Amino acid sequence: MNNSRVLMTAVGSYLPANIVSNEDLSSFVDTDDVWIRRRTGIAQRHIVAEDETTADLAQHAAKKALTNAGLSGGDIDLIVVATTTPDNTFPSTATKLQHAIGAKRAIAFDVQAVCAGFVYALDIAEAMIQSGRGRRALVVGAESFSKLLDWEDRSTCVLFGDGAGAVVLELAENYNDWGILSSVLHSDGAFRDILYVDGGPSSNSLVGHVRMEGKEVFRHAVEKLAAVMDEALAAAQMDATQIDWLVPHQANIRIIDAMQKKMGMASDRVVRTVEQHANTSAASIPLALAVAVDDGRIKNGDVVAMEAIGGGLVWGAALVRFGKPY
Ligand code: ACO
């Protein structure tokens, strides 16, 4: 039997300095603070500066995660960056990050699974570590999602923000109930039309804007996230009472509250950052994780459940006993 476990030993995050409130938005688009708060739970979002890119955000978050793990770039064997807003079509944001942190021997690449990007990247990194490609990985969710928004479309532009979060994964032997306990992913391209960005390199037009049928996405989110969380619990042979913290994708407070109720969890066991960060797509889970680790809520050895859904549709869930037993 394989006794190796992939531990999540540290986390780091970064938010751009510029904060845009709901009131700020209502100065140029037909919306208001009351509507946005009531329908989404969002009060503000951080937005990148003119000269700030996704790779910059990723670099800040990754450096903090490395510091918290007591490691440097040279210790890292693998870098997986989940992003929908890379600096360029190529090279990848991951290779830019690799160079910036001096991770000379790392394999580095990007993963595109929109808001589910972090749970996808986590699963891929775990599988690569378990298959012997290295012992230490950086998994990063980083987005300048504001660049994909149509600032005249009030049904989407109020929902998103920018930021980055990063975790360090490390291989360990003989700690069976630590680290990534289970991970389940799904995709269904039949739902492409309810959430997408128009345009792109092979579509004969420049990258466009986010288009979304909000109600449909909402319906799929509640149904699919509940089902995939059940699968992740079954795969780990656990039940919801054994989860210490739910760290969900931060898209809408109503989706988060629905998940909390479906899982029968106490409200104060759910990490909510959507009010301050809005939906930062692939960055939202590691950002929320970093907030709750930094403020002392998530402690070494706590079981953390994560779940996310994004355009595709793509969705997934992971259970992790956070930290390290040694
Ligand atoms: N301000 C004021 N009014 C607004 C705004 C706004 N920003 N946006 C829409 N409205 C209006 C609409 O025009 C509509 O008006 P009408 O009744 O006169 O036609 C009314 O508000 C209701 O609009 P709905 O779209 O029906 O509102 P709903 O309750 O569905 O909320 C929302 C919309 C918040 C988008 C919700 O559907 C949602 O959160 N969906 C899920 C989105 C999501 O989770 N996305 C995550 C994935 S994103 C990714 O993967 C990249």
Span 257-291, pLDDT tens digits: 999 999 999 999 999 999 999 999 999 999 999 99
Alpha-carbon distance of 296 to 262, in angstroms, equals 26
- The catalytically annotated residue of 60, 68, 115, 252 is 115
Question: Based on the domain organization, do 166 and 219 belong to the same domain?
Answer: no
Question: Based on the domain organization, do 117 and 265 belong to the same domain?
Answer: no
- Take atom 23 of ligand 1 and give the residue whose Cα is closest: 155
Q: Return the ∠ at Cα 237 (arms to 309 and 298), rounded to 5°.
A: 60
Q: Report residue 78 as tokens.
A: 């693998």
**Does the CB atom of residue 47 touch ligand 1 within 6 A?**
no
Question: Based on the domain organization, do 160 and 250 belong to the same domain?
Answer: no
- Take atom 14 of ligand 1 and give the residue whose Cα is closest: 155
* 249 counts as catalytic: yes
* 279 counts as catalytic: yes
137: exposed, middle or buried (Cβ count in 10 Å: 0-12, 13-18, 19+): buried
Per-residue pLDDT tens listing for the chain (326 residues): 578 999 999 999 999 999 999 999 999 999 999 999 999 999 999 999 999 999 999 999 999 999 999 999 999 999 999 999 999 999 999 999 999 999 999 999 999 999 999 999 999 999 999 999 999 999 999 999 999 999 999 999 999 999 999 999 999 998 889 999 999 999 999 999 999 999 998 987 888 999 999 999 999 999 999 999 999 999 999 999 999 999 999 999 999 999 999 999 999 999 999 999 999 999 999 999 999 999 999 999 999 999 999 999 999 999 999 999 98
Question: Based on the domain organization, do 120 and 262 belong to the same domain?
Answer: no
pTM score, two decimals? 0.96
Alpha-carbon distance of 64 to 193, in angstroms, equals 37
Number of domains in the chain: 2
Question: Based on the domain organization, do 311 and 187 belong to the same domain?
Answer: yes
Amino acid at 130: Q
Q: Report residue 290 as tokens.
A: 């970093």
- Take atom 25 of ligand 1 and give the residue whose Cα is closest: 214
For 43-56, write each residue's pLDDT tens digit.
999 999 999 999 99
The separation between CA 25 and the C-alpha centre of its own chain, rounded to angstroms, equals 24
Alpha-carbon distance of 262 to 251, in angstroms, equals 17
Q: Is residue 66 part of a domain?
A: yes
The alpha-helical segments, DSSP class H, found in 43-198 are 54-69, 93-101, 117-130, 154-157
**Does the CB atom of residue 31 touch ligand 1 within 6 A?**
yes
Q: Relative to the CA of 40, which ligand 1 atom is closest? A: 34
Q: Relative to the CA of 217, which ligand 1 atom is closest? A: 41
- The catalytically annotated residue of 60, 220, 249, 277 is 249
Q: Relative to the CA of 25, which ligand 1 atom is closest? A: 7
Question: Based on the domain organization, do 203 and 138 belong to the same domain?
Answer: no
Expressed in angstroms and rounded, the spacing between residue 195 Cα and the centre of ligand 1 is 13
**Does the CB atom of residue 158 touch ligand 1 within 6 A?**
yes
Ligand 1 test: best mutation among 39, 150, 222, 225, most atoms within 8 Å of CB? 39
Question: Based on the domain organization, do 11 and 144 belong to the same domain?
Answer: yes
* 204 counts as catalytic: no
Alpha-carbon distance of 322 to 320, in angstroms, equals 6
- Distances from the Cα of 55 to the Cα of 87, 113, 135, 304, angstroms: 7, 17, 24, 27
Reduced to 3 states (helix: H, G, I; strand: E, B; else coil), residue 234 is helix
Strand partners, 317: 184, 307
Alpha-carbon distance of 38 to 174, in angstroms, equals 48
Expressed in angstroms and rounded, the spacing between residue 78 Cα and the centre of ligand 1 is 38
**Does the CB atom of residue 214 touch ligand 1 within 6 A?**
yes
Q: For residues 123 and 185, is the Cβ–Cβ distance under 8 A? A: yes
Ligand 1 test: best mutation among 33, 198, 218, most atoms within 8 Å of CB? 218
CATH of the domain at 124: 3.40.47.10
Question: Based on the domain organization, do 14 and 136 belong to the same domain?
Answer: yes
Q: Which domain holds residue 220?
A: 179-321
Q: For residues 148 and 279, is the Cβ–Cβ distance under 8 A? A: no
Reduced to 3 states (helix: H, G, I; strand: E, B; else coil), residue 104 is coil
Q: For residues 282 and 85, is the Cβ–Cβ distance under 8 A? A: no
